Structure 1
Amino acid sequence: MQSLQLVSTEKNHRNMALASQRLLDDIRANAMENLLNSGSLSTSLISISDCLENVLGSCHCQVLSFNSSESRFNVINKSNRTHTNFVTNFVHKMLNSKTTEITKNLLNKTEFIYSDIYQSRECKDLHIEGKELGVVAAWTIPLVSHDGILCGAYLCLFNTVRHTNDSELDLLHRAASSVSALIFHGKQKTAELKNKISLQKTISKQDADLNELNLAVKKAIIQRTQVQTQLIELENMAALGTMMSSLTHEINTPIGVSITASSYLSDLQQECFEKLELNQLKRSELITYLQEAKEASYIIQRNVQRADELINTFKRLSIDQDSQDLRSFNLCHYVYEVLLSLKPRLKMKPHKFCIDISDELNISSNPGALSQVLINLIMNSVHHAFLPNQSGRITIKASLVPEQSELLIYYKDNGVGMDQETIQNIYKPFFSLAGSNESSGLGMHICSNIVMKVLNGSLTCQSELGKGSQFEIRFPV
């Protein structure tokens, strides 16, 4: 009967050990799932400790981490209040002391068992506090990572004398293996979180730098636009100044002739009046006076009309410079008016102009925009297309494309021409082949903007070195 009872007891122990292992495996699986689902490491470790405490009975379990750089053990998950100070002192006096046997064993990755701490001289500093808590035995199991590195220890405190038991020791090793795996995954999660935080900080800094750069770029664009606007206004003012100079130059002739004719007429009148008072005025002299007075009056009238036409012409041109209104005008006459406004700039240049435009070509468009385009093209040719003292030839040809309701203007010079790189950059603002004092580099940029945005048309360029340049302007009329 005794042998049967012994067999039965051993079988019960084995069954209980297997049940405990299954329970621990289930707890480990749940703890790992909790950790992988963004649960805390502390919660997962406590669940395993609670399981061991229930299985082993009358014990307190505590997980410790190991800092290899400092060779120190530290508490990972919090102890309950009754064991907090004892665990802290046990770790400090026993595990972090290089002279104790328990430390040597753990560093060698071997468990160490205190079946009764009161039988050990190493634990004498803990006897009083241990008796108050009822702590009698202390088992420590090393926590070893999958790559064989010591990462901590598993501490179990018992309330009774506890000698080593294979099934219980095996259970603790299984628990230690589970805790090591949890700590490994916890460290991975921590590292990933740190990487994410670091990456987020980097992205935030990059965003801040990018926002700052965008603000700087926007500010630069605004400043550039302001500078361009100011330069365009200066060019318009320069064009108006040129018109005033042309007006002064052109109007001097008819006004000078009118003054001379009126002065001559005044002298004739004075002479005739004096002879009339002295009764010396002859009939033939009166007839001569009347004929010469008639001719002088005609000269005065004709030149005053010419001056009035010039004033009206320059008035229209100056108004067109700032106006975006559409109006009907004769294209041929208008091109001649534009050339007249440029006369002071062109009078020292030996260039010839060929205007191939029908006298009957009337269009409805924006004359101010068209004049700005022609002025910039002409002055661009004068400054860049011809060599010094070269007698150049500029041709302006225009015709209607009735089926498309478009006006087609060909502007051509027989200058030095341009290479492909220059053609590709010619419409960019501030691009110029001349020195900084000779050109703002905005002429062709202004032309392109006016043709596309104001006239709603297109501007294309064809040129080869040594073969001159040709511009084709198309816009609806």
Structure 2
Amino acid sequence: MTDLFLPAAMHARGFDEKQLLRARAFIRVTLLILSGILVLYGIWAVNEGPFDPVSLTWAVYALLVGGNLVTVRLSGRFHQVTIANNLAGLSLIAILLHYTGGVASPLVPLFLTGVATTGNFGGNRAILFFFTGFTAVILGTYVWQLHAGDHVEDIHSRFAFLLTALVLLVLANLSAQSARTKTRRMLQQARDAAIEGRRRAELAQAAAEKTLVDLRETQSQMILQEKMASLGSMVAGVAHEVNTPVGLAVTGASQLRTETARILALAADGQLRRSTFDEYLSVVDELATLIEKNATRAAELIQSFKEVAVDQSSDARRPYDLRAYVSEVLSSLAPRIRHAGHKVEMAVPDGIEMDGHPGAMAQIVTNLVINSIMHAYPDERRDGTLRLAARMLDDDMVELAYSDDGQGIPRDLWPRIFEPFFTTRRGTGGSGLGLHLLYNIVTVRMGGTVRVAAAPQGGALFTLVFPRISPGRPDHGAVQ
């Protein structure tokens, strides 16, 4: 109901909340005063008649208060209307006191209560204004009664009581107003602090979210770099390994050309003998065998690396034989393994036909081997044995077990080794992403599980279990 008397401007969205609360409080108090005046008018009209001076005064008072509500609704000037209402109200109170016994009027306690209540809704100036005006009314009534000689015997004590009550009310209202002001200030400070805290929290949250996005992007880049690093390491090893057979083949071809030029020169001079030609044929056969053997070796190395490298870079899905493909990956890693002074034992049976992403399998084997070379053998130990075995399980599942005979992984680190960026070789070449990448490939890409344990020979044991047919839609012609 209070909103019916609010000015139209206060109904607009975004209006000052503080002013709106004050306006509603003013209207609410005014409505309560109007209700009380109407009740008193009704009582007086029933007892003394509607045209009794007191009844008419109450009626005028009610019209004044109701008119103020309408004026506020139309003009929106709360302060000016409040002053005018108080001045007119004090005048009507003086009239009512005149007709009901002056200082001894039974309405005095009611007016004291009303003035005290009204003062609670204003500031310090409003409180002083209300009480100064009411004091002036009481003092004027007291002086008029003394001058007219129409008063009760204890008028002086009553007047003194009223002044004392007014002073106490003023002090009480000022104290209450001061407490309310402090409380409002503290609430405002708390509200401002809460708003500032929320703003800082939102800024911190935004910064944290941005940092998380940056970390994820950085992690993705580092994972890609890890894949490229392992591929680059494989390239370097294969290049070194291919260099030997290619060099021997080039040397053999050069020697063959030299021998052929010598025979041609002898033939041109007519000095070619049967024994010389037979010797030449023997050398040609030896060199041809050398060239063919080394060229074949180089071709095999290049073909194995080509398939593994293409699988790791394109990550296309296709069917493949697990034994044959793991052999190709290990062949590509052979230079790195031999350079470290270790050997590999493989126990993968024939006939395990996989359908999935061979690049993922190449990354798994590469990361396991590189992890052993970097971490399992301290003090440049060069006699390690890396073991890789696989077998079929029930429900078309494959188990791949990889182990080494190195120093192993402390048990307290087992729960953390698959975390991103966790490494015990920080600053000496370890990125902390190798096993994390392996874990993601096995669990997410291949739909399997991976666990770590201690190997029987004393090193680390990684057991991978995954479906023979990787999750997702198999390509056309995939093995079922």
TM-score (norm 1): 0.63
| Aligned mates of 2:333, 2:455 — CA distance in 1 | 27
Q: Helix, strand or coil for the counterpart of 1:453?
A: helix
Task: Determine if the alignment matches structure 1 residue 141 to structure 2 residue 112.
Answer: yes
Name the residue aligned to 2:387. 395
Structure 1 CA distance for aligned equivalents of residues 263 and 374 of structure 2: 57
- Alignment of 1:84 onto 2:84: no
* Residues 239-258 of structure 1: per-residue CA shift (max 9 Å, x gap): 23212212221111211221
Structure showing the higher strand proportion among its residues? 1
AA partner of residue 42 (structure 1): T
Query: What amino acid does structure 1 have at the position aligned with 2:112?
Result: I
Q: Does 1:273 align with 2:244?
A: no
* Whole-angstrom distance in 2 between the partners of 1:408 and 1:455: 12
For residues 248-327 of structure 1, the aligned pairs below 5 Å read: 248-327=239-318
Aligned to 1:358: 349
Structure 1 residues 290 and 468: alpha-carbon distance in aligned structure 2, compared to 1, 3 A threshold: closer
The alpha carbon displacement at 1:207 in A equals 4.8
Contact 1:115–1:138 (CA<8 Å) still a contact in 2? no
Q: Which digits, 9 at most, give the CA deviation of each residue in 1:49-80, with x for residues without a partner?
A: 332355353255999xxxxxxxxxxx999668
Secondary structure of 2:375's counterpart equals helix
2:441 is equivalent to residue 454 of structure 1: no
Residue by residue over 1:2-21, the C-alpha shift from the partner in whole angstroms, topping out at 9 and shown as x without a partner, is xxxxxxxxxxxxxxxxxxxx
Q: 2-side partners of 1:475 and 1:426: how far apart?
A: 20
CA deviation after TM superposition for structure 1 residue 219, in Å: 0.7
- Per-residue deviation, 1:46: 2.9
The answer on 1:114 being equivalent to 2:103 is yes
Structure having the higher helix fraction is 2
Pairing partner for 2:424 from 410, 416, 433: 433
1:360-382 residue CA offsets vs partner (Å, 9 max, x unmatched): 54433312111112222222222
How far the C-alpha of 1:430 sits from its partner, in A, is 1.1
Q: Partners of 1:414 and 1:300 in 2: how far apart? A: 39
Structure 2 SS opposite 1:329: strand
Judge conservation of contact 1:113–1:140 (CA < 8 Å) in 2: no
Tell me what 1:247 maps to. Answer: 238
Residue-by-residue CA offset, 1:200-245 (whole Å, 9 max, x unaligned): 7776555544433332222111111121122122222322321221
Work out the CA distance in 2 between the residues paired with 1:420 and 1:46. 83
Pick closer, same or farther for the CA change 1:141–1:413 going to 2, 3 Å: same
Paired residue for 2:330, among 308, 333, 339?
A: 339
Structure 2 stretches lacking a partner, 5+ long: 1-24, 45-53, 66-77, 95-100, 146-150, 153-157, 159-172, 469-480
The answer to whether the 8 Å contact 1:416/1:466 transfers is no
Which residue of the other structure, out of 364, 367, 372, is the alignment partner of 2:358? 367
Quick one: which amino acid aligns to residue 399 of structure 1? Answer: R
Check conservation: 1:42, 1:77, Cα contact below 8 A.
no
Deviations 1:423-476 (A, max 9, x none): 111111111122234211111111111112222222112239994321111222
SS of alignment partner, residue 238 of structure 1? helix
Q: Is the Cα–Cα contact under 8 Å of residues 42 and 76 in structure 1 kept in the other structure?
A: no
Question: C-alpha distance in 1, partners of 2:256/2:455?
Answer: 60
Q: CA deviation at 1:342?
A: 3.1
Q: Which ranges of structure 1 fall in alignment gaps of 5 or more residues?
A: 1-36, 64-74, 92-111, 117-136, 170-182
Question: Distance in 2 between the 1:331 and 1:51 partners?
Answer: 99
Give the alignment partner of residue 235 of structure 1, picking from 226, 229, 249: 226
Which amino acid is 1:313 matched to? Answer: S
Q: Distance between the aligned counterparts of 1:41 and 1:469, measured in 2?
A: 82
Identity of aligned residues (%): 26
- Distance across 2 between alignment mates of 1:323 and 1:388: 37
Q: CA deviation at 1:409?
A: 0.2
Aligned letter for 2:87? T
Which of 29, 40, 45 is the matching residue for 1:41? Answer: 29
Superposed CA RMSD in Å reads: 4.9
